Structure 1
Protein backbone atom coordinates (compact mmCIF):
# COMPACT_ATOMS: atom_id res chain seq x y z
CA UNK A 1 0.00 0.00 0.00
CA UNK A 2 1.36 3.42 -0.95
CA UNK A 3 1.74 6.17 1.64
CA UNK A 4 -0.93 8.15 -0.18
CA UNK A 5 -3.46 5.35 0.20
CA UNK A 6 -2.44 4.87 3.83
CA UNK A 7 -3.05 8.58 4.44
CA UNK A 8 -6.53 8.36 2.91
CA UNK A 9 -7.39 5.54 5.30
CA UNK A 10 -5.93 7.43 8.25
CA UNK A 11 -7.88 10.54 7.33
CA UNK A 12 -11.13 8.57 7.26
CA UNK A 13 -10.65 7.01 10.71
CA UNK A 14 -12.75 8.26 13.61
CA UNK A 15 -9.61 8.71 15.68
CA UNK A 16 -8.37 11.31 13.19
CA UNK A 17 -11.48 13.44 13.73
CA UNK A 18 -10.61 13.74 17.41
CA UNK A 19 -7.25 15.37 16.72
CA UNK A 20 -7.59 19.14 17.00
CA UNK A 21 -4.48 21.24 16.55
CA UNK A 22 -3.81 24.45 18.40
CA UNK A 23 -4.39 27.73 16.65
CA UNK A 24 -1.08 28.87 15.10
CA UNK A 25 -1.42 32.23 16.84
CA UNK A 26 -0.32 30.87 20.22
CA UNK A 27 2.81 29.22 18.87
CA UNK A 28 3.76 32.19 16.71
CA UNK A 29 3.42 34.60 19.62
CA UNK A 30 5.57 32.31 21.77
CA UNK A 31 8.31 32.19 19.14
CA UNK A 32 8.10 35.98 18.85
CA UNK A 33 8.42 36.29 22.63
CA UNK A 34 11.65 34.27 22.57
CA UNK A 35 13.06 36.21 19.62
CA UNK A 36 12.23 39.55 21.26
CA UNK A 37 13.82 38.61 24.60
CA UNK A 38 10.53 38.60 26.51
CA UNK A 39 11.73 36.69 29.58
CA UNK A 40 8.49 37.06 31.53
CA UNK A 41 6.24 35.60 28.79
CA UNK A 42 8.59 32.73 27.97
CA UNK A 43 9.08 31.82 31.62
CA UNK A 44 5.32 31.80 32.17
CA UNK A 45 4.86 29.47 29.19
CA UNK A 46 7.50 27.12 30.59
CA UNK A 47 5.91 27.13 34.04
CA UNK A 48 2.59 26.13 32.49
CA UNK A 49 4.40 23.26 30.71
CA UNK A 50 2.60 24.05 27.47
CA UNK A 51 5.26 22.17 25.52
CA UNK A 52 4.22 18.77 26.87
CA UNK A 53 0.47 19.34 26.89
CA UNK A 54 -1.21 16.92 24.52
CA UNK A 55 -4.23 19.05 23.62
CA UNK A 56 -3.78 20.62 20.22
CA UNK A 57 -0.36 19.08 19.59
CA UNK A 58 0.12 16.98 16.48
CA UNK A 59 1.19 13.35 16.86
CA UNK A 60 4.45 12.86 14.97
CA UNK A 61 5.28 9.52 16.57
CA UNK A 62 3.33 6.96 18.57
CA UNK A 63 6.24 6.84 21.00
CA UNK A 64 5.69 9.65 23.51
CA UNK A 65 9.37 10.52 23.96
CA UNK A 66 10.13 10.41 20.23
CA UNK A 67 7.06 12.52 19.57
CA UNK A 68 8.27 15.22 21.98
CA UNK A 69 11.76 15.08 20.49
CA UNK A 70 10.35 15.79 17.04
CA UNK A 71 8.40 18.75 18.43
CA UNK A 72 11.56 19.93 20.20
CA UNK A 73 13.52 19.93 16.94
CA UNK A 74 10.79 21.85 15.11
CA UNK A 75 10.53 24.40 17.93
CA UNK A 76 14.30 24.87 17.94
CA UNK A 77 14.34 25.36 14.16
CA UNK A 78 11.61 28.00 14.37
CA UNK A 79 13.25 29.89 17.22
CA UNK A 80 16.71 29.71 15.66
CA UNK A 81 15.60 31.39 12.47
CA UNK A 82 13.47 34.02 14.17
CA UNK A 83 16.32 34.96 16.49
CA UNK A 84 18.62 35.17 13.47
CA UNK A 85 16.09 37.44 11.78
CA UNK A 86 15.96 39.63 14.88
CA UNK A 87 19.71 40.17 14.95
CA UNK A 88 21.39 37.18 16.58
CA UNK A 89 24.65 36.28 14.89
CA UNK A 90 23.87 33.49 12.40
CA UNK A 91 26.70 31.23 13.53
CA UNK A 92 25.74 31.64 17.17
CA UNK A 93 22.08 30.89 16.41
CA UNK A 94 22.81 27.68 14.52
CA UNK A 95 25.54 26.46 16.87
CA UNK A 96 23.14 26.91 19.76
CA UNK A 97 20.55 24.92 17.82
CA UNK A 98 23.04 22.12 17.11
CA UNK A 99 24.08 22.04 20.76
CA UNK A 100 20.59 21.54 22.15
CA UNK A 101 19.47 19.09 19.47
CA UNK A 102 22.54 16.96 20.14
CA UNK A 103 21.60 16.92 23.83
CA UNK A 104 18.45 15.02 22.86
CA UNK A 105 20.56 11.92 22.19
CA UNK A 106 21.00 11.20 25.89
CA UNK A 107 17.39 11.88 26.88
CA UNK A 108 14.87 9.09 27.46
CA UNK A 109 11.84 10.58 29.23
CA UNK A 110 9.21 13.20 28.42
CA UNK A 111 10.16 15.05 31.60
CA UNK A 112 13.77 15.35 30.45
CA UNK A 113 12.67 16.67 27.07
CA UNK A 114 10.47 19.24 28.80
CA UNK A 115 13.37 20.32 31.00
CA UNK A 116 15.73 20.63 28.03
CA UNK A 117 13.09 22.56 26.09
CA UNK A 118 12.69 25.06 28.93
CA UNK A 119 16.45 25.50 29.23
CA UNK A 120 16.78 25.95 25.47
CA UNK A 121 14.06 28.60 25.06
CA UNK A 122 15.20 30.52 28.14
CA UNK A 123 18.79 30.48 26.82
CA UNK A 124 17.72 31.93 23.46
CA UNK A 125 15.44 34.46 25.18
CA UNK A 126 18.14 35.68 27.55
CA UNK A 127 20.62 36.05 24.70
CA UNK A 128 18.08 38.07 22.72
CA UNK A 129 17.28 40.19 25.78
CA UNK A 130 20.95 41.05 26.13
CA UNK A 131 21.21 41.72 22.40
CA UNK A 132 18.41 44.30 22.52
CA UNK A 133 19.96 45.89 25.61
CA UNK A 134 23.53 46.30 24.49
CA UNK A 135 26.03 48.66 26.03
CA UNK A 136 25.91 51.35 23.35
CA UNK A 137 24.15 53.78 25.64
CA UNK A 138 24.79 55.04 29.15
CA UNK A 139 23.46 53.14 32.13
CA UNK A 140 20.59 55.60 32.57
CA UNK A 141 19.42 55.14 28.99
CA UNK A 142 19.77 51.36 29.14
CA UNK A 143 17.83 51.38 32.42
CA UNK A 144 15.18 53.60 30.84
CA UNK A 145 14.76 51.19 27.93
CA UNK A 146 14.56 48.28 30.35
CA UNK A 147 11.84 50.06 32.31
CA UNK A 148 9.87 50.91 29.17
CA UNK A 149 10.20 47.33 27.94
CA UNK A 150 8.97 45.93 31.26
CA UNK A 151 6.05 48.38 31.52
CA UNK A 152 5.09 48.60 27.86
CA UNK A 153 1.47 47.72 28.59
CA UNK A 154 1.16 50.56 31.09
CA UNK A 155 0.89 54.32 30.68
CA UNK A 156 4.50 55.53 31.05
CA UNK A 157 5.58 59.10 31.65
CA UNK A 158 8.99 60.76 31.81
CA UNK A 159 8.30 61.31 35.52
CA UNK A 160 7.84 57.54 35.98
CA UNK A 161 11.19 56.88 34.34
CA UNK A 162 13.00 59.61 36.23
CA UNK A 163 11.61 58.42 39.59
CA UNK A 164 12.67 54.82 38.86
CA UNK A 165 16.23 56.02 38.17
CA UNK A 166 16.42 58.61 40.91
CA UNK A 167 17.15 61.50 38.53
CA UNK A 168 15.23 64.59 37.47
CA UNK A 169 12.80 64.43 34.57
CA UNK A 170 14.52 67.32 32.78
CA UNK A 171 17.96 65.69 33.04
CA UNK A 172 16.67 62.34 31.74
CA UNK A 173 14.76 64.03 28.93
CA UNK A 174 17.89 65.85 27.71
CA UNK A 175 20.10 62.76 28.06
CA UNK A 176 17.65 60.50 26.25
CA UNK A 177 17.32 62.86 23.30
CA UNK A 178 21.09 63.37 23.14
CA UNK A 179 21.93 59.65 23.07
CA UNK A 180 19.04 58.22 21.05
CA UNK A 181 18.14 61.12 18.83
CA UNK A 182 14.45 61.00 19.78
CA UNK A 183 12.40 62.09 22.79
CA UNK A 184 11.30 59.72 25.54
CA UNK A 185 7.65 60.04 24.52
CA UNK A 186 8.49 59.30 20.86
CA UNK A 187 10.47 56.22 21.90
CA UNK A 188 7.64 54.96 24.12
CA UNK A 189 5.14 55.48 21.33
CA UNK A 190 7.35 53.67 18.85
CA UNK A 191 7.75 50.68 21.16
CA UNK A 192 4.00 50.50 21.80
CA UNK A 193 3.28 50.63 18.08
CA UNK A 194 5.80 47.84 17.45
CA UNK A 195 4.01 45.72 20.04
CA UNK A 196 0.67 46.62 18.45
CA UNK A 197 1.97 45.56 15.02
CA UNK A 198 2.92 42.15 16.41
CA UNK A 199 -0.51 41.72 18.00
CA UNK A 200 -2.27 42.79 14.80
CA UNK A 201 -0.19 40.39 12.74
CA UNK A 202 -0.05 37.35 15.01
CA UNK A 203 -3.18 37.50 17.20
CA UNK A 204 -6.93 37.77 16.82
CA UNK A 205 -7.40 40.44 19.48
CA UNK A 206 -9.88 43.15 18.42
CA UNK A 207 -8.34 46.56 17.78
CA UNK A 208 -10.03 48.07 20.81
CA UNK A 209 -8.57 45.34 23.03
CA UNK A 210 -5.07 45.98 21.64
CA UNK A 211 -5.54 49.68 22.36
CA UNK A 212 -6.59 48.87 25.94
CA UNK A 213 -3.79 46.36 26.46
CA UNK A 214 -1.21 48.99 25.52
CA UNK A 215 -2.90 51.69 27.65
CA UNK A 216 -3.85 54.09 24.89
CA UNK A 217 -6.41 56.59 26.14
CA UNK A 218 -8.97 55.46 23.56
CA UNK A 219 -9.35 53.43 20.40
CA UNK A 220 -9.41 56.60 18.30
CA UNK A 221 -6.17 57.79 19.94
CA UNK A 222 -4.54 54.44 19.21
CA UNK A 223 -5.65 54.58 15.56
CA UNK A 224 -4.31 58.13 15.24
CA UNK A 225 -0.94 57.25 16.79
CA UNK A 226 -0.66 54.07 14.74
CA UNK A 227 -1.37 55.95 11.49
CA UNK A 228 1.21 58.62 12.31
CA UNK A 229 3.93 55.99 12.82
CA UNK A 230 3.07 53.48 10.09
CA UNK A 231 1.15 55.51 7.54
CA UNK A 232 -1.92 53.29 7.77
CA UNK A 233 -4.69 52.39 10.19
CA UNK A 234 -4.47 49.30 12.43
CA UNK A 235 -7.28 47.69 10.43
CA UNK A 236 -5.44 48.24 7.16
CA UNK A 237 -2.20 46.93 8.67
CA UNK A 238 -3.95 43.74 9.81
CA UNK A 239 -5.59 43.26 6.40
CA UNK A 240 -2.19 43.46 4.70
CA UNK A 241 -0.03 41.62 7.23
CA UNK A 242 -2.13 39.12 9.18
CA UNK A 243 -0.19 35.85 9.26
CA UNK A 244 1.07 36.25 5.66
CA UNK A 245 4.42 37.87 6.43
CA UNK A 246 5.69 34.85 8.30
CA UNK A 247 8.48 34.97 5.75
CA UNK A 248 10.54 32.14 7.15
CA UNK A 249 7.94 29.43 6.54
CA UNK A 250 9.58 27.98 3.43
CA UNK A 251 13.02 28.08 5.03
CA UNK A 252 11.62 26.45 8.17
CA UNK A 253 10.04 23.58 6.27
CA UNK A 254 13.38 22.73 4.68
CA UNK A 255 15.30 23.26 7.93
CA UNK A 256 12.86 21.22 10.00
CA UNK A 257 13.07 18.28 7.61
CA UNK A 258 16.86 18.49 7.66
CA UNK A 259 17.10 18.67 11.43
CA UNK A 260 14.51 15.94 11.95
CA UNK A 261 16.60 13.71 9.72
CA UNK A 262 19.67 14.63 11.77
CA UNK A 263 17.81 13.60 14.94
CA UNK A 264 16.71 10.29 13.37
CA UNK A 265 20.26 9.57 12.20
Structure 2
Protein backbone atom coordinates (compact mmCIF):
# COMPACT_ATOMS: atom_id res chain seq x y z
CA UNK A 1 0.00 0.00 0.00
CA UNK A 2 1.39 3.41 -0.97
CA UNK A 3 1.45 6.42 1.37
CA UNK A 4 -1.44 8.08 -0.46
CA UNK A 5 -3.58 4.95 -0.07
CA UNK A 6 -2.60 4.70 3.58
CA UNK A 7 -3.70 8.31 4.16
CA UNK A 8 -7.03 7.81 2.38
CA UNK A 9 -7.70 4.76 4.54
CA UNK A 10 -6.74 6.59 7.71
CA UNK A 11 -8.88 9.56 6.79
CA UNK A 12 -11.90 7.28 6.32
CA UNK A 13 -11.48 5.54 9.68
CA UNK A 14 -14.11 6.45 12.26
CA UNK A 15 -11.55 6.56 15.07
CA UNK A 16 -9.20 9.04 13.38
CA UNK A 17 -7.97 11.78 15.66
CA UNK A 18 -10.37 14.65 15.08
CA UNK A 19 -8.64 17.23 17.25
CA UNK A 20 -8.89 20.57 15.52
CA UNK A 21 -5.87 22.72 14.78
CA UNK A 22 -5.77 26.12 16.46
CA UNK A 23 -7.08 29.02 14.35
CA UNK A 24 -4.36 30.58 12.17
CA UNK A 25 -5.07 34.10 13.47
CA UNK A 26 -2.97 33.71 16.61
CA UNK A 27 -0.09 32.18 14.69
CA UNK A 28 -0.15 34.92 12.08
CA UNK A 29 -0.23 37.69 14.69
CA UNK A 30 2.82 36.13 16.33
CA UNK A 31 4.72 36.05 13.04
CA UNK A 32 3.61 39.61 12.36
CA UNK A 33 4.93 40.71 15.76
CA UNK A 34 8.33 39.25 14.84
CA UNK A 35 8.45 40.99 11.45
CA UNK A 36 7.41 44.31 13.01
CA UNK A 37 10.11 44.04 15.64
CA UNK A 38 7.58 43.98 18.49
CA UNK A 39 9.90 42.73 21.23
CA UNK A 40 7.29 43.08 23.98
CA UNK A 41 4.68 40.93 22.22
CA UNK A 42 7.18 38.25 21.17
CA UNK A 43 8.75 38.07 24.64
CA UNK A 44 5.27 37.72 26.18
CA UNK A 45 4.51 34.84 23.80
CA UNK A 46 7.75 33.15 24.86
CA UNK A 47 7.03 33.65 28.56
CA UNK A 48 3.62 32.02 28.09
CA UNK A 49 5.40 29.04 26.50
CA UNK A 50 2.99 29.02 23.56
CA UNK A 51 5.57 27.09 21.55
CA UNK A 52 5.21 24.16 23.96
CA UNK A 53 1.40 24.25 23.96
CA UNK A 54 0.33 21.15 22.03
CA UNK A 55 -3.38 21.98 22.02
CA UNK A 56 -4.54 22.62 18.46
CA UNK A 57 -1.11 21.81 17.02
CA UNK A 58 -0.51 18.94 14.60
CA UNK A 59 1.47 15.88 15.68
CA UNK A 60 4.37 15.52 13.25
CA UNK A 61 6.20 12.75 15.10
CA UNK A 62 5.35 10.25 17.82
CA UNK A 63 8.63 11.17 19.52
CA UNK A 64 7.95 14.36 21.53
CA UNK A 65 11.44 15.80 21.04
CA UNK A 66 11.43 15.11 17.30
CA UNK A 67 7.89 16.51 17.05
CA UNK A 68 9.00 19.75 18.71
CA UNK A 69 12.04 19.97 16.45
CA UNK A 70 9.83 19.66 13.36
CA UNK A 71 7.65 22.52 14.62
CA UNK A 72 10.80 24.53 15.32
CA UNK A 73 11.93 24.10 11.71
CA UNK A 74 8.49 25.15 10.40
CA UNK A 75 8.46 28.24 12.62
CA UNK A 76 11.98 29.20 11.55
CA UNK A 77 11.14 28.75 7.87
CA UNK A 78 8.01 30.90 8.14
CA UNK A 79 9.77 33.67 10.05
CA UNK A 80 12.71 33.62 7.65
CA UNK A 81 10.54 34.16 4.59
CA UNK A 82 8.26 36.73 6.20
CA UNK A 83 11.19 38.76 7.53
CA UNK A 84 12.81 38.64 4.11
CA UNK A 85 9.59 39.95 2.54
CA UNK A 86 9.50 42.79 5.09
CA UNK A 87 12.99 43.92 4.15
CA UNK A 88 15.57 41.74 5.89
CA UNK A 89 18.51 41.03 3.60
CA UNK A 90 17.87 37.61 2.07
CA UNK A 91 21.31 36.15 2.75
CA UNK A 92 21.19 37.24 6.40
CA UNK A 93 17.72 35.74 6.84
CA UNK A 94 18.75 32.35 5.46
CA UNK A 95 22.09 32.25 7.28
CA UNK A 96 20.24 32.83 10.56
CA UNK A 97 17.79 30.08 9.64
CA UNK A 98 20.59 27.62 8.85
CA UNK A 99 22.42 28.53 12.06
CA UNK A 100 19.49 27.92 14.38
CA UNK A 101 18.23 24.77 12.64
CA UNK A 102 21.73 23.26 12.78
CA UNK A 103 21.79 23.97 16.53
CA UNK A 104 18.93 21.46 16.89
CA UNK A 105 21.39 18.61 16.27
CA UNK A 106 22.94 19.13 19.71
CA UNK A 107 19.67 19.48 21.64
CA UNK A 108 17.89 16.48 23.10
CA UNK A 109 15.39 17.90 25.62
CA UNK A 110 12.07 19.70 25.35
CA UNK A 111 13.39 22.60 27.44
CA UNK A 112 16.46 22.84 25.24
CA UNK A 113 14.36 23.15 22.07
CA UNK A 114 12.10 25.69 23.78
CA UNK A 115 15.11 27.80 24.87
CA UNK A 116 16.53 27.74 21.34
CA UNK A 117 13.13 28.69 19.92
CA UNK A 118 12.88 31.70 22.23
CA UNK A 119 16.42 32.80 21.39
CA UNK A 120 15.73 32.40 17.67
CA UNK A 121 12.47 34.38 17.54
CA UNK A 122 13.84 37.16 19.74
CA UNK A 123 16.95 37.39 17.55
CA UNK A 124 14.85 37.83 14.39
CA UNK A 125 12.57 40.28 16.21
CA UNK A 126 15.41 42.45 17.45
CA UNK A 127 16.97 42.60 13.99
CA UNK A 128 13.61 43.54 12.46
CA UNK A 129 13.11 46.18 15.16
CA UNK A 130 16.40 47.79 14.19
CA UNK A 131 15.54 47.55 10.51
CA UNK A 132 12.07 49.05 10.95
CA UNK A 133 13.42 51.98 12.91
CA UNK A 134 16.60 52.68 11.00
CA UNK A 135 16.37 56.04 9.24
CA UNK A 136 18.22 59.28 8.71
CA UNK A 137 16.29 61.20 11.37
CA UNK A 138 18.09 62.98 14.19
CA UNK A 139 18.51 61.22 17.51
CA UNK A 140 15.57 63.13 19.01
CA UNK A 141 13.18 62.03 16.28
CA UNK A 142 14.45 58.45 16.29
CA UNK A 143 13.89 58.24 20.06
CA UNK A 144 10.52 59.91 19.61
CA UNK A 145 9.41 57.29 17.07
CA UNK A 146 10.74 54.51 19.27
CA UNK A 147 8.68 55.83 22.20
CA UNK A 148 5.54 56.03 20.07
CA UNK A 149 6.11 52.50 18.79
CA UNK A 150 6.60 51.14 22.32
CA UNK A 151 3.57 52.96 23.75
CA UNK A 152 1.20 52.69 20.79
CA UNK A 153 -1.58 51.22 22.97
CA UNK A 154 -1.48 54.22 25.30
CA UNK A 155 -2.69 57.78 24.89
CA UNK A 156 0.43 59.70 23.84
CA UNK A 157 0.79 63.47 23.94
CA UNK A 158 3.49 65.85 22.75
CA UNK A 159 4.14 66.58 26.42
CA UNK A 160 4.87 62.88 27.07
CA UNK A 161 7.41 62.88 24.27
CA UNK A 162 9.05 66.17 25.25
CA UNK A 163 9.38 65.00 28.87
CA UNK A 164 10.94 61.75 27.65
CA UNK A 165 13.49 63.67 25.58
CA UNK A 166 14.04 66.55 27.98
CA UNK A 167 13.20 69.23 25.41
CA UNK A 168 10.36 71.70 25.07
CA UNK A 169 7.14 70.63 23.39
CA UNK A 170 7.32 73.52 20.92
CA UNK A 171 10.89 72.63 19.88
CA UNK A 172 10.03 68.95 19.43
CA UNK A 173 6.91 69.81 17.45
CA UNK A 174 8.88 71.98 15.01
CA UNK A 175 11.70 69.44 14.68
CA UNK A 176 9.33 66.53 14.08
CA UNK A 177 7.45 68.42 11.37
CA UNK A 178 10.70 69.48 9.71
CA UNK A 179 12.22 65.99 9.60
CA UNK A 180 9.16 63.86 8.88
CA UNK A 181 6.73 66.20 7.16
CA UNK A 182 4.02 65.22 9.66
CA UNK A 183 2.88 66.72 12.90
CA UNK A 184 3.43 64.58 15.98
CA UNK A 185 -0.30 64.04 16.41
CA UNK A 186 -0.73 63.02 12.76
CA UNK A 187 2.12 60.53 13.04
CA UNK A 188 0.72 59.01 16.24
CA UNK A 189 -2.70 58.74 14.62
CA UNK A 190 -1.28 57.03 11.53
CA UNK A 191 0.57 54.48 13.68
CA UNK A 192 -2.56 53.72 15.71
CA UNK A 193 -4.67 53.36 12.55
CA UNK A 194 -2.10 51.00 11.03
CA UNK A 195 -2.29 48.88 14.18
CA UNK A 196 -6.10 49.01 14.02
CA UNK A 197 -6.01 47.77 10.42
CA UNK A 198 -3.98 44.75 11.53
CA UNK A 199 -6.41 43.99 14.35
CA UNK A 200 -9.40 44.32 12.02
CA UNK A 201 -7.80 42.00 9.49
CA UNK A 202 -6.26 39.35 11.71
CA UNK A 203 -8.27 39.30 14.96
CA UNK A 204 -11.83 38.95 16.17
CA UNK A 205 -11.74 42.02 18.42
CA UNK A 206 -14.88 44.18 18.27
CA UNK A 207 -14.75 47.86 17.28
CA UNK A 208 -15.06 48.96 20.89
CA UNK A 209 -12.30 46.53 21.94
CA UNK A 210 -9.96 47.93 19.30
CA UNK A 211 -10.84 51.50 20.22
CA UNK A 212 -10.08 50.75 23.88
CA UNK A 213 -6.89 48.79 23.15
CA UNK A 214 -5.48 51.73 21.20
CA UNK A 215 -6.71 54.35 23.68
CA UNK A 216 -9.10 56.22 21.41
CA UNK A 217 -11.42 58.43 23.45
CA UNK A 218 -14.48 56.53 22.22
CA UNK A 219 -15.66 54.05 19.60
CA UNK A 220 -17.19 56.86 17.53
CA UNK A 221 -13.90 58.78 17.65
CA UNK A 222 -12.03 55.69 16.47
CA UNK A 223 -14.48 55.18 13.59
CA UNK A 224 -14.20 58.84 12.57
CA UNK A 225 -10.39 58.82 12.65
CA UNK A 226 -10.22 55.53 10.78
CA UNK A 227 -12.56 56.76 8.05
CA UNK A 228 -10.55 59.95 7.58
CA UNK A 229 -7.26 58.06 7.34
CA UNK A 230 -8.29 54.97 5.35
CA UNK A 231 -11.25 56.28 3.36
CA UNK A 232 -13.75 53.73 4.69
CA UNK A 233 -15.23 52.65 7.99
CA UNK A 234 -13.53 49.98 10.13
CA UNK A 235 -16.45 47.64 9.44
CA UNK A 236 -16.05 48.05 5.69
CA UNK A 237 -12.31 47.47 5.98
CA UNK A 238 -12.87 44.27 7.96
CA UNK A 239 -15.49 43.03 5.50
CA UNK A 240 -12.99 43.48 2.67
CA UNK A 241 -9.84 42.22 4.37
CA UNK A 242 -10.73 39.86 7.20
CA UNK A 243 -8.85 36.85 5.89
CA UNK A 244 -5.59 35.19 6.72
CA UNK A 245 -3.25 35.92 3.83
CA UNK A 246 0.26 34.69 4.44
CA UNK A 247 1.85 36.26 1.37
CA UNK A 248 4.64 33.70 1.22
CA UNK A 249 6.49 33.87 -2.07
CA UNK A 250 6.51 30.63 -3.97
CA UNK A 251 9.83 29.12 -4.93
CA UNK A 252 8.89 29.58 -8.57
CA UNK A 253 8.62 33.33 -7.96
CA UNK A 254 11.99 33.48 -6.23
CA UNK A 255 14.63 31.17 -7.70
CA UNK A 256 17.06 31.82 -4.84
CA UNK A 257 14.63 30.21 -2.39
CA UNK A 258 14.73 27.06 -4.47
CA UNK A 259 18.50 27.16 -4.68
CA UNK A 260 19.01 27.39 -0.92
CA UNK A 261 16.15 25.27 0.36
Give the TM-score of the pair, scaled to structure 2.
Answer: 0.92
Residue in 1 that maps onto 2:17: 16
Q: Are 2:24 and 2:244, in contact at CA under 8 Å, matched by a contact in 1?
A: no
Distance in 2 between the 1:59 and 1:181 partners? 51
Give 1:102 shift. Answer: 1.5
Q: Residue in 1 aligned with 2:92? A: 92
Aligned to 2:204: 204
CA distance in 1, matches of 2:202, 2:94: 25
Q: Taking structure 1 as the reference length, what is the TM-score of the superposition?
A: 0.90
Question: Which residue of 2 is the match for residue 184 of structure 1?
Answer: 184
Quote the Cα distance in structure 2 between the aligned partners of 1:21 and 1:91.
Answer: 33
Distance 1:112 1:86, change over 3 A: same
Larger mean CA deviation between 173-182 and 94-103 belongs to 94-103
Moved over 6 A (4+): none
CA contact (8 A) 2:25 2:244 kept: no
Higher RCO (Cα < 8 Å, 6 or more apart) = 1
Q: CA deviation at 1:137?
A: 1.2
| Displacement of 1:29 | 0.6
User: What's the CA shift for 1:78?
Assistant: 1.1
| CA–CA separation in structure 2 for the residues paired with 1:150 and 1:104 | 33
The equivalent residue for 2:105 is 105
8 Å contact from structure 1 (residues 10, 16) kept in 2: no
**2:145 corresponds to:** 145
What's the offset of the Cα at 1:122? 0.4
- Give the C-alpha shift of residue 249 in structure 1: 7.1
For 2:204 and 2:150, the matched residues in 1 are separated by 23
3-state SS of the aligned residue for 2:160? helix
1:15 shift after superposition: 5.0
Whole-Å Cα distance in 1 between the matches of residues 228 and 247 of structure 2? Answer: 26
> Which residues of structure 1 form unaligned runs of 5+?
none
Aligned to 1:5: 5
For structure 2, the residue ranges without an aligned partner over 5 or more in a row are: none
Q: Offset at 1:250?
A: 5.1
Q: Deviations for 1:184-230, whole angstroms, at most 9, x for unmatched residues?
A: 01100110011111111111111221111111112121112112221
Aligned residues: 258
Between the aligned partners of 1:152 and 1:63, the Cα distance in structure 2 is 42
Following superposition, the deviation at residue 135 of structure 1 comes to 4.8
Structure 1 residues 56 and 199, CA gap change in structure 2 (3 angstroms): same
